[in-house]
């Protein structure tokens, strides 16, 4: 997790600097990099050595950043980067199992030490091949199960939220409630566009400023009357 956090943070930093000449430390990228590394190590956590775990986490952070950029370039909407975190690094974790599984760790976990990772025996492709077949099967199963579901949602017009509802937030527009962190400025913006949410009414302006202005105006008129010739 630590290596994934650091690699995602600094790879994103490098890409920002090359593109814009400026850079910022993106905490979101760092956190998702750590999560991507945890996803990647899940499959192989019991069968790889410590050094391999570091390599797997480091590569997971890089793959996450590259996957996130690929989504933006392909104009695919993934607000929380679930695809690069979970799908891309889930696949990487399965491949890493076929590459880095050590005979000793296999013996400790399963009582056998044959068909270890490809890096330990370049002539034995069994484990890595099985992992690749599993990836293809999972992708095929998910596609066959979910594609018809998405087609039906899209035909009914339920696949995407309205652009204004996205701007306001789905908590309010779909669930009828607000996030506790929504600030007062957001309430004003929602009131301006005419959306009626719970407890979202325009705040009355303070009357003090009006009364002070009236007093100043009355005083000015009195002074003018005193100076006027009889």
For residue 99, which of 58, 129, 54 has the smallest C-alpha distance? 129
Tokens for 138? 């999972």
For residues 213 and 210, give the distance between their C-alpha atoms in angstroms, rounded to a whole number.
Answer: 5
CB atoms within 10 A of CB 146: 10
pTM of the full structure: 0.71
DSSP alpha helices (H): ranges in the chain?
2-20, 27-42, 50-73, 82, 89-100, 103-110, 126-156, 163-168, 170-175, 184-192, 208-227
* pLDDT tens sequence across 18-41: 988 888 899 999 999 999 999 999
For residue 96, which of 139, 140, 51 has the smallest C-alpha distance? 51
* pLDDT tens sequence across 32-78: 999 999 999 999 999 999 999 999 999 999 999 999 999 999 988 88
């Amino acid at each position: 997790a630590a290596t994934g956090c650091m690699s995602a943070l600094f790879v994103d930093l490098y890409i920002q600097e090359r593109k814009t000449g400026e850079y910022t430390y993106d905490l979101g990228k760092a956190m998702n990099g750590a999560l991507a590394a945890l996803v990647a190590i899940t499959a192989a956590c019991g069968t790889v050595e410590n050094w391999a775990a570091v390599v797997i986490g480091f590569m997971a952070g890089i793959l996450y950043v590259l996957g996130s950029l690929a989504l933006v370039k392909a104009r695919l909407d993934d607000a929380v980067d679930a695809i690069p975190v979970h799908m891309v690094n889930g696949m990487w974790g399965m491949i890493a199992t076929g590459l880095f599984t050590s005979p000793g760790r296999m013996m400790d976990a399963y009582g056998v030490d044959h068909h270890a990772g490809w890096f330990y025996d370049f002539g034995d492709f069994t484990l890595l091949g099985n992992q690749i077949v599993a990836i293809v099967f999972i992708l095929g199963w998910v596609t066959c199960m979910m594609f018809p579901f998405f087609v039906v949602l899209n035909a009914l017009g339920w696949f995407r939220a309205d652009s204004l509802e996205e701007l306001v937030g789905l908590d309010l527009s779909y669930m009828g409630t607000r996030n506790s962190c929504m600030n007062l400025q957001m309430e004003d913006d929602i009131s301006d566009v005419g959306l009626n949410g719970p407890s979202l009414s325009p705040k009355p302006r303070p009357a003090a400023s009006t009364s002070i202005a009236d007093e100043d105006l009355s005083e000015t008129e009195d002074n003018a009357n005193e100076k006027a010739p009889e």
